[in-house]
Structure 1
Amino acid sequence: MASGKWDRYAERSPSRRLVNAGGASTWFNWTQYPDHGPGLEVLNLEPGVRVLELGCGKGGNLAHVDAMGYRAVGVDVSALQVAHARSRWPHLNVVQGDAAAYLEGGDEPFAAVYSVFGAVWFVDPEVLLPAINRRLRGTLAFSWSPMNVVPTLPRWDLEAAEWGDRLDKHGFVDIEHREVAPPADGEGGQPTFLVRATRPA
């Protein structure tokens, strides 16, 4: 996927706040709403394991994974997004490149792979899911929302059953789908869809 379109998207997307409502400098968020929804617990992580984010953007969620003591790696196709992430968190392991190519280019496994409005939504699942399966030894989780519109870029807006079929086809089990409603005090808003599955050991 060409990074130029993603660089243009990065120029329009806002930077993450310096702290959340509780004053924390790093935090994990699956939704597009501040301080809302589930967090890192979705990934069921054991201490110190390797975790991969596909489409890490400016690195906010990845920074929290790292701060919690996990060995975090992020991949993003946009050179501008990667530059933002490295500028704010110079110690993070952030790679600029295509998600599927990164997965196919190595062998070291990850205990979890996740994507927040990221590569799992924007890369053909017939290409990306087998690549994830090859490197994963635990939980895959990803989120997307109809509110998060990126014109001119292909997306896989699949229904829950369709995602389930694709994940099952490519060897994932314990497939779960949940809809996270927007904050009750918000005006309108769109839900966030969150899928979780595992790869058998």
Structure 2
Amino acid sequence: MISDRWDRYAQARSPRRLVNAAGASTWFNWTQYPDHGPGLEVLDLDDGSRVLDLGCGKGGNLAHVCASGYHGIGVDVSAPQLAHARTRWPGLPVHHRDAVSYLLDGEESFDAVYSVFGALWFVDPEVLLPAIHHRLRGVLAFSWSPMKPIPGLPRWDLEPGEWRERLEKHGYEDIECQVIDPPAGAESDQCTFFVRATRAGGRMPRSTREHAR
């Protein structure tokens, strides 16, 4: 089973550091490099926003979402990963589910959905993108890197142009595709691909919302 493979992968992964370089106990990381790349601001959140983490893993990014005052929910297929998240951050709202079934089983909307090396990389986008669209009001953002495959796990290593086509096909707009280079002095030269889009006809951008007030 795919969940078993994720469990084995999770056991081999080191947990997130207790604090980052700035001394913070929670922080957001879109890349595989510590303290590098954009942060939570790319989700364009308002006070009280509802945010969904697809493939939350050990919960580091989700913990930062919740600590920042937003209503975060995490979904992951690996029970050991979620057990770690609940131990480190008691009360963290995480669910042992696969991304598609979680999305299709509910109706309540989310202001933002994100995935960091998670479900957007490992689930068929022809199935997952419509399922996200069903629950999304605002921003979808995700990141991945061209690392070596994980044995037994399918992966969608699409080029940025291919992602743009899939997103447009399934009702997304304002699509941004970026390549984030590794930081200076990094041991690896692997870049990180980052994609951000909005649901067509969803929430207006924050700058427009603030101007309208």
Distance 1:4 1:43 in 2: 31
Percentage identity across paired residues of the two chains? 69
Partner of 2:129, secondary structure, is helix
Structure 2 letter corresponding to 1:177:
C
Q: Are residues 1:6 and 2:11 paired?
A: no
Given that residues 37 and 180 in structure 1 are in contact (C-alpha distance below 8 angstroms), is that contact kept between their aligned partners in structure 2? yes
Q: Are residues 1:80 and 2:74 paired?
A: no
Partner of 1:100, secondary structure, is helix
- CA RMSD, 1 decimal: 1.0
Gaps (5+ residues) in structure 2?
203-213
Aligned match of 2:190:
190
Residues 20-79 of structure 1 show CA distances to partners (whole Å, capped at 9, x for unaligned) of 000000000000001111110111111111000000000000000000000000000111
State which structure, 1 or 2, has the greater radius of gyration over its C-alpha atoms. 2
Gaps (5+ residues) in structure 1?
none
Aligned match of 1:26:
26
Distance 2:188 2:99 in 1: 33
Structure 2 letter corresponding to 1:196:
R
Shift of 1:185: 1.7
Give me the TM-score of the superposition, normalised by structure 2: 0.92
Structure 2 letter corresponding to 1:165:
E
Partner of 1:193, secondary structure, is strand
Residues 57-116 of structure 1 show CA distances to partners (whole Å, capped at 9, x for unaligned) of 000000000000000000001111111111111111000011000000000000000000
Give me the TM-score of the superposition, normalised by structure 1: 0.98
Structure 1 letter corresponding to 2:180:
V
Aligned match of 2:141:
141
Q: Map residues 38-187 of structure 1 onto 2, 5 A cutoff.
A: 38-147=38-147, 149-187=149-187
Distance 1:109 1:29 in 2: 24
Structure 2 letter corresponding to 1:180:
I
Shift of 1:184: 1.1
Shift of 1:148: 6.1
Residues 163-198 of structure 1 show CA distances to partners (whole Å, capped at 9, x for unaligned) of 000000000000110011001122342000000000
Distance 1:146 1:171 in 2: 26
Distance 2:92 2:189 in 1: 32
